[in-house]
Amino acid sequence: MTWRLLDLDAVRQIAVDPGLRPIEIGMAHQGAIDGRRPDADHPTSTLVLNGLHITWPPLVAFCKQLAAELGHPVTGNAYSTPAGSRGYGPHWGTHSVFLAQTAGSKVWQLSRPVFTDPLEPHRWTAVGFTDEQLARVTDHPDVEVELTAGQVLFIPRGWVHHGHTTTRRSLHITFGVQLLTRFWLVQQLLAHVTADPYLRAALPPDLSNNDMAALIAQTGQGLADQLAALDPHAPAAAVRTAQQLSVLGVE
């Protein structure tokens, strides 16, 4: 039962903890950040609790178990929204989400991505919506569903989503699957090819007057040569260790 992981009484307990950092708690209302003092039972604004995968014991254990099964890191945040309200407007995540309703209900609208498989530089706050895209996801969502207590909704990375309550207060947990991507694997390989003296060499003097395109082409070819000659078994153990550390939440 999802309510055993977090209920409204637990939210109230967490919200009054004087040790919470500002990044761990906040408020949102009608699509914008609300700077008022966080309140677990606010009549109009959504209470946001971040980082519960490292601070709230039931979610610490659950997120570790889920991460171990998926092979990708998992985070846990919670959102308590009063009746007849909404927290954030249309947005997308750079991770996939299991959204678990623990109390009340919430109506969710989902739309196909406007940016496929976004990475951190492609957050919705950086890329944004065109007027046409925003009108589409607001007026013509691809999916609309009301989630009730005990139900779980999966939202793939990049899917645009936003929710609102009707007659009841809502509490839900978002389990963010922080997907390790092929780009992550490339980053691991880049760390491995530092053994190549050519790639470790400094760029030439008078760099401001050098042909940057030519330098990029030369370095790209050197990198391609290294990767082409690489025995994939050589970095496999180190990359596996990095993956397992990520699952455990160790950077």
Residue 1's pLDDT is 53
- pTM equals 0.91
Closest C-alpha among 128, 124, 168 to residue 146: 168
pLDDT of residue 222 exceeding 70: yes
Q: Give which of 19, 15, 75, 17 is closest to 48, Cα–Cα.
A: 15
Give the contacts of 251 (CB within 8 A, at least 6 positions apart). Answer: 245
Banded model confidence at residue 2, pLDDT cuts 50, 70, 90: low
> Please, where in the chain does CATH 2.60.120.650 lie?
2-177
Of the chain, the percentage scoring pLDDT greater than 90 comes to 88
Evaluate whether the domain defined by 2-177 bears CATH number 3.90.1150.10.
Answer: no
Give the span between the Cα atoms of 134 and 152, in whole angstroms: 26
Mean pLDDT of 185-191: 93
DSSP helix/strand/coil, 99? strand
